[in-house]
Amino acid sequence: MNATAPASRTRSVISLLIFGFLGLQVIAVVNPFLSLYHESSEFLWPFVDYPMYSRAYDKDDPVTRYVLYGCVLDGSPVELTPKELGLGFWKFFRGPVHGVLSEHPNVEVLRRYARIYEQRHGVQLVGFRLENHPIVLSEHGPAVGTPSVLREIRWTEPSSSEAQ
C-alpha cells in the first residue's frame, strides 16, 4: 500500500501540471477576445495566441498585408520595415502598425518610432501612413490586390527637432 501512494501522488502532480499548461494556453488563445490582460503575448510565453488558424480564406478573398510608410518633410513616403526600426515582426506589428490603426492613436509614442528611423537614416519624418497591400487568393495562386490608404497621421514638426 505504501508503494502505490507515491505513484498516485506523482500521477496527480503530473496531471495538475498538464491541466495548468492547458489552462495557460486557453488564456493565451481567448485573451484577444476577452482582454483578460493588457500585456503583449510575451507575458504568457511559451503559450501564444498564434493567429494562423483564426480565420479561413476562400477563393478571391483579400488577405490584409499592412505596409507602413514614414512621411518625409518634403512629402515623399519612405517604407518602414521592422528591420529599419530594429524591431521583430510582432513588436513592429503591435507597436507602430497598431499605433496608427488605433481608434485614438498616441502621437507621442508614434514619434518615438519616427526618432528611431531618423537616428538611423538621418531623414526627418513628419508622420506615418499605413496602407493595405492585399494579397488575393485565386485559383491560379496568390495575386496582388489594389493598395489602399488606411490612415495617415501627421505631426506639425519633425520629431528629431524635439529635445530628447
Query: Hunting for cell 528611423 — which residue is that?
Result: 117
pLDDT of 151 higher than 50: yes
Average pLDDT rounded to a whole number, residues 98-126 = 92
pLDDT of 125 higher than 60: yes
153 SS3 class: strand
What percent of the chain is modeled with pLDDT above 90? Answer: 44
Least confident of 24-38, 69-83, 120-134: 24-38
For the chain, how are helix, strand and coil distributed in percent, rounded to 5? 45, 20, 35
CA proximity to 112, closest of 39, 74, 72, 162: 162
Bridge partners (DSSP) listed for residue 130: 68, 151
Cell of 21: 499548461
pLDDT band, very low/low/confident/very high, at 2 (cuts 50, 70, 90): low
pLDDT at 53: 54
Cα torsion through 164, 156, 82, 146, rounded to 10: 180
What percent of the chain is modeled with pLDDT above 70? Answer: 75
Are 28 and 54 spatial neighbours (Cβ–Cβ below 8 Å)? no
pTM over 0.75: no
C-alpha distances out from residue 143 to 61, 135, 149, 150, 159, Å: 11, 6, 19, 20, 37
Alpha helix ranges (H) inside the chain: 4-34, 82-85, 89-92, 98-101, 107-121
- Render pLDDT for 23-59 as a digit per residue (tens, 0 to 9): 887 777 776 555 555 555 556 666 665 565 556 777 8
